[in-house]
Amino acid sequence: MKEWAFAIPDAENTVRIMEEAPCLIAVLNTNQKTPFEGIENEKRIVEICDSLSIGAAIENMILTATEHGLGTLWIANTCFAYKELVDFIKTDNQLTGIVAVGFANEAPAKRPRKPFTDIVEYR
């Protein structure tokens, strides 16, 4: 994916975090296979709905881990080593992400957020 070369530093940082984390949770969509092959429109709709549910489940895992004093990172850029990762975890299900869990060694300031009025439209 030559057009993604700009993202290599981010991917390298992800690898570092994955190496340092004491726990990695691979999140799979058991209804789908690789995202690199075409599928019919009906299956694509199911895949999108599954992805929304999986995202909500990941957010709940992260919130729960935070409540217990753990640090987390939601790793969504698994595409750079997709084949290697699914081979490593020995699955043919769709890898949708990884959650790194451990004890945080930093407490970064909250990222700036857009004002609610800039992202919500009332009709």
Helices (H), 68-103: 82-88
Share the mean pLDDT of the chain.
Answer: 90
Res. 1 pLDDT band, cuts 50 70 90: low
The residue with tokens 């799979």 is 28
What is the average pLDDT across 8-14?
A: 84
Contact 9, 88 (CB under 8 A): no
| Cα–Cα distance for residue pair 13/16, rounded to 1 Å | 5
* Beta bridge partner(s), residue 75: 98
Q: Does residue 115 have a pLDDT over 80?
A: yes
In this prediction, residue 12 carries a pLDDT of 86
Supply the CATH number for residue 24's domain: 3.40.109.10
- Residue 59 structural domain: 2-119
pTM: 0.81
In this prediction, residue 6 carries a pLDDT of 81
| Cα–Cα distance for residue pair 106/123, rounded to 1 Å | 41
Contact 73, 100 (CB under 8 A): yes
The number of domains in the chain is 1
With pLDDT > 90 as the criterion, what percentage of the chain qualifies? 59
Contact 40, 52 (CB under 8 A): no
Contact 70, 102 (CB under 8 A): yes
Q: Output 62 or 32, whichever has higher pLDDT.
A: 62
In tens, the pLDDT along 62-105 reads 999 999 999 999 998 888 788 999 999 999 999 999 999 999 88
